[in-house]
Chains A and B, each alone.
Chain A
């Protein structure tokens, strides 16, 4: 069965510092991995995805993610955090057609 794990409920980082939000996955077959962000009382916004190819994926708002097959990880990164990046972040894996398995979410707090 496909699954993703987000080991941290919350990540705090100072504005201007690099940030990392962790995600590990367990899939049979090729992993199709996604990151979404959710601001309060809003829907999820797609940030980026890994399908195949380059292990470093660039996405929206300056975010990027590194796919590591040996460590089965897909960590979300940003070189310099902004206060406006504070939100809830979900990692997800595609489980067949039409099914996305979401992680439990990580709350990112960027401190001014």
Chain B
């Protein structure tokens, strides 16, 4: 299984809503990532979990809250988002180390209204 599965594929939420994005992988990867991607731009790193611990937070606003319940699952909790947060949110996973490639999910297209 070489897949990273993200749910939902599409999400529309109001600025007062609370929602969660989910990500799952069964490749035994111990690093998991959240990226944000705007149209026609490269992905921007948000968070990295390594061995279920938060390793990197790229100064992301607190309205985004990551969670790693176990080595296969990664969540991103969303609360009080702004319209400018509308984007494609990508989950990825990899083995630890700078020589390894990341495997990406197909993303969640988020629209904040």
A interface vs B, CB < 8 Å?
32, 34, 36, 41-46, 49, 51, 88, 90, 94-100, 102-105, 107
Choice from A43, A90, A97 contacting B98 with Cβ under 8 Å: A97
Kindly name the residue among A34, A43, A100, A104 whose own CB sees the greatest number of chain B CB atoms within 10 A: A43
Could you pull out 26 A-B pairs where Cβ atoms are within 8 angstroms? Answer: A32-B99, A41-B88, A41-B106, A42-B107, A43-B4, A43-B106, A44-B90, A44-B104, A46-B101, A46-B103, A46-B104, A51-B99, A88-B40, A96-B98, A97-B50, A98-B48, A98-B50, A98-B56, A98-B94, A98-B96, A99-B56, A100-B102, A102-B42, A102-B43, A103-B42, A105-B41
- Residues of the B chain whose Cβ atoms lie less than 8 Å from the Cβ of A36: 104
* B31 at interface, CB cutoff 8 A: yes
Choice from A41, A98, A100, A107 contacting B109 with Cβ under 8 Å: A41
B interface vs A, CB < 8 Å?
4, 6, 31, 33, 40-43, 45, 48, 50, 55-56, 88, 90, 92, 94, 96-99, 101-107, 109
Known contacts A41-B109, A44-B90, A104-B41; A97 and B104 CB within 8 A of each other: no
- Taking a contact as CB atoms under 8 Å apart, the answer to whether B101 and A49 are in contact is yes
The distance in angstroms between the C-alpha atoms of A36 and B97, with both chains bound, is 18
